[in-house]
């Protein structure tokens, strides 16, 4: 995206250094706006022309499209970079499970039941399926309507409604418009009526084409009808072709700031069997897909792509932290060990996992290190003897056990004497690596 410089923004400001924006000078304010740390409207004296011209220049290269309403709302797109390390990825790929209108009531229920069970907790975060797709394969409005009704009554997830045209979709879309389903697909053949339907019901619309030119052509025409919340669905001859198109779409939108393709995407991912489907879904997650639609609803098919998604979309600018408090693993008794670690999520969950593996019930006292791991926290003075003593005293594990032993991470063995002298506890140096915990607890630990 063409970056607007501080100087260019400064030229649009009143140049009075009045300070009403809470920055001492117009130049200082302009630099903040350029860095996107302040918004232009924080200046009460900025002209409308300046607002407009800067607004256009700074408009994000990819539109953010919201599907669903209220608590179930999911934001798609709004991406600003090709590679995560350049900033971060904003909208995790939505995973959507498809239900065709040919399904019997029992089949629909079974699928929805499976979907509702597809919720997992991983590294302290709940992950799961985001959308349910109902697709008309029969082209029959009443068959489609019956399945949509059943699905809408049984799931809280936002819906994606797919049908060959307005005739099949209209009554259900208007009935569910308040829940803001994503509808489609608009194609070269039906785009006018689909655009009319989306405009009338104020819902986002999927645009489908085999070629990127076809997509760009359709989005421009549909935008002309007043529908701007669009999702691009490229079709590919095979998975490689599809992934290539996803990459091209992303590059055109962000690098070339090509507005006709500046929208989030949706793809279908499938395979001969569950394993192939999971691979295809994961591959699409890795290649910028906004939504991936799959027929799979088995945990073994869905968990791998959800894991990939969590890995890819984790915000690298924010350390993944957990609450700093006393955790109990198993049912620790009075002779249970008290183990100390930091609140970086990966550190804590690795330690907790290994303590579980050891089958020795234990207390884990977690120091707030602002999401840093043991060595980083130590280097940054966020894990000190003083902080350790304060955290353990406040969390109180020593009151629950009949010994006074505290196990500290082996990587900060250097803190042992200071903690011991200032606290009066017997401080034991644990393993340097969490992998050593089971052995340590089983062979070396005794209350």
Residue 56 buriedness (CB in 10 A; 0-12 / 13-18 / 19+): exposed
Per-position x/- string for 412-431, each x denoting binding to other proteins as judged by CB under 8 A, each - no binding = --------------------
C-beta of 6 vs 128, nearer to other proteins: 6
Locus of tokens 């869905």: 302
Classified as helix, coil or strand, 395 is helix
Instruction: Compute how many other C-beta atoms are within 10 angstroms of the C-beta atom of residue 308.
Output: 19
Q: For residue 199, state whether it binds other proteins (rule: CB under 8 A).
A: no
- Strand, coil or helix: what is 162? strand
Among 31, 215, 374, 389, binds other proteins (CB under 8 A): 31
Task: Please give the structure tokens belonging to residue 435.
Answer: 């992998």
Per CB under 8 A, which region of 10-18, 96-104, 198-206, 257-265 contacts other proteins?
A: 10-18
Instruction: Give the closest residue to 34 by CA, choosing from 51, 55, 9.
Output: 9
Question: Please, which residues bridge with residue 160 across strands?
Answer: 133, 182
d(CA 260, CA 221): 10
Give, for 64, the enclosing helix (H) or strand (E). Answer: strand 64-67
Which range binds other proteins by CB under 8 A, 19-27, 43-51, 68-76, 151-159? 19-27
Cβ proximity to other proteins: between 9 and 160 the closer is 9
Provide the minimum distance between the beta carbon of 28 and other proteins in the complex, in angstroms, as a whole number: 4
Q: Specify the 3-state DSSP secondary structure of 63.
A: coil
* Structural contact between residues 12 and 54, judged by C-beta atoms closer than 8 angstroms: yes
* Nearest-angstrom CA–CA distance, 394 and 273: 53
Contact between 5 and other proteins per CB under 8 A: yes
For position 11 contacting other proteins by CB under 8 A, the verdict is yes
Count of residues in the chain: 447
Q: Which is nearer to other proteins, 12 or 161 (CB)?
A: 12
Select the residue interacting with other proteins from 1, 2, 6, 78 (CB under 8 A): 6
Q: Which stretch binds other proteins (CB under 8 A): 30-38, 130-138, 173-181, 400-408?
A: 30-38
Give the DSSP letter string of 226-286: T---EEEEE--SSHHHHHHHHHHHHHHHHTS--GGG-S-BEEE---SSHHHHHHHHHHHHH
d(CA 164, CA 187): 9
With b for 16 or more beta-carbon neighbours within 10 A and e for fewer, the 394-414 pattern comes to ebebbeebeeeebbbbbbbee
In the complex with other proteins, the residue whose CB is nearer, 7 or 167, is: 7
- Nearer residue to other proteins within complex by CB, 5 or 107: 5
Is 77:93 a contact under the CB 8 Å cutoff? no
- In the complex, the smallest distance separating the C-beta of residue 52 from other proteins, rounded to whole angstroms, is 22
Sole binder of other proteins in the list 1, 14, 17, 84 (CB under 8 A)? 17
State in angstroms the smallest separation of the CB of 287 from other proteins: 21
Question: Contacting other proteins (CB under 8 A), which of 1, 28, 82, 279?
Answer: 28
For other proteins, which stretch binds (CB under 8 A), given 6-14, 41-49, 90-98, 327-335? Answer: 6-14
Backbone angles phi, psi at 23, to 5 degrees: -110, 145
Tell me the Ramachandran region of residue 217: left when phi exceeds 0, alpha when psi lies from -120 to 50, beta otherwise.
alpha
Q: Is 36 in the site for other proteins (CB under 8 A)?
A: no
- The answer to whether 341 and 322 are in contact (CB under 8 A) is no
CB of 27 to other proteins, least distance (A): 5
Token pair, residue 324, equals 């700093």
- The minimum distance between CB 71 and other proteins, in angstroms, equals 37
* Per CB under 8 A, 167 contacts other proteins: no
- Give every CB contact of residue 107 below 8 A, 6+ residues apart in sequence: none
Q: Which is nearer to other proteins, 83 or 224 (CB)?
A: 83
Residue 114 touches other proteins, criterion: CB under 8 A? no
Q: Which stretch binds other proteins (CB under 8 A): 8-16, 188-196, 310-318, 359-367?
A: 8-16
Asked whether position 35 contacts other proteins by CB under 8 A, the answer is yes
42 binds other proteins (CB under 8 A): no
- The distance of closest approach from Cβ of residue 56 to other proteins in the complex, given in angstroms and rounded to an integer, is 20
Residue 256 near other proteins by CB under 8 A: no
Window of 11-19, 162-170, 365-373, 417-425 that interacts with other proteins by CB under 8 A: 11-19
15 binds other proteins (CB under 8 A): yes
For the CB of residue 12, give the shortest distance to other proteins in the complex, in Å: 12
Comparing CA positions, the residue from 101, 165, 93 lying closest to residue 129 is: 93
For residue 216 the two structure tokens come to 């760009």
Under the binding rule (CB under 8 A), the answer on residue 376 touching other proteins is no
Using the contact rule CB under 8 A, the part of the chain among 21-29, 134-142, 188-196, 207-215 near other proteins is: 21-29
Positions in the binding site for other proteins (CB under 8 A): 3, 5-7, 10-11, 15, 17, 23-28, 31, 34-35
């Amino acid at each position: 995206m063409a970056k607007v410089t501080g100087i260019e923004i400064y030229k649009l400001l009143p140049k009075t250094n009045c300070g009403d924006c809470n920055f001492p000078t117009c130049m200082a304010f302009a630099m903040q706006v350029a860095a996107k740390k302040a918004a232009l409207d924080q200046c009460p004296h900025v002209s409308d022309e300046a607002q407009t011209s800067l607004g256009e220049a700074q408009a994000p290269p990819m539109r953010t499209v919201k599907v669903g309403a209220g608590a179930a709302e999911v934001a798609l797109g709004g991406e600003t970079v090709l590679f995560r390390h350049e900033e971060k990825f904003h909208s995790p790929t939505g995973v959507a499970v498809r239900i065709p209108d040919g399904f019997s009531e029992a089949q629909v229920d079974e699928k929805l039941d499976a979907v509702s069970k597809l919720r997992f907790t991983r590294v302290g975060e709940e992950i799961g399926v985001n959308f349910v797709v109902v697709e008309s394969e029969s082209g029959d409005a009443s068959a489609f309507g019956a399945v949509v009704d059943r699905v809408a009554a049984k799931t809280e997830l936002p819906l994606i409604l797919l049908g060959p045209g307005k005739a099949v979709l209209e009554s259900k879309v208007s009935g569910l418009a308040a829940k803001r389903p994503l509808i489609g697909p608009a194609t070269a053949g039906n785009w006018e009526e689909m655009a009319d339907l989306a405009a009338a019901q104020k819902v986002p619309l999927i645009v489908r084409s085999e070629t990127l030119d076809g997509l760009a052509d359709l989005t421009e025409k549909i935008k002309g009808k007043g529908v701007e919340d669009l999702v691009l669905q490229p079709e590919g001859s095979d998975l490689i072709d599809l992934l290539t198109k996803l990459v091209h779409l992303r590059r055109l939108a962000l690098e070339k700031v090509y507005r006709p393709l500046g929208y989030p995407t949706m793809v279908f991912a499938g395979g001969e069997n569950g394993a192939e489907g999971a691979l295809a879904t994961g591959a699409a997650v890795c290649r910028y897909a906004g939504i991936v639609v799959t027929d799979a609803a088995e945990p073994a098919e869905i968990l791998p792509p959800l894991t990939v998604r969590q890995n890819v979309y984790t915000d690298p600018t924010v350390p993944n932290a957990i609450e700093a408090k006393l955790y109990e693993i198993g049912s620790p008794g009075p002779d249970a060990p008290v183990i100390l670690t930091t609140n970086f999520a990966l550190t804590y969950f690795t330690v907790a996992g290994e303590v579980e593996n050891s089958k020795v019930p234990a207390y884990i006292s977690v120091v707030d290190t602002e999401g840093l791991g043991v060595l980083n926290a130590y280097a940054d003075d966020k894990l000190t003897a003083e902080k350790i003593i304060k955290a353990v005293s406040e969390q109180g594990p020593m009151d629950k056990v009949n010994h006074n032993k505290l196990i500290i991470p082996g990587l900060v063995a250097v803190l042992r004497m200071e903690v011991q002298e200032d606290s009066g506890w017997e401080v034991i140096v644990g393993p340097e690596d969490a992998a050593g915990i089971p052995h340590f607890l089983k062979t070396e630990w005794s209350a």
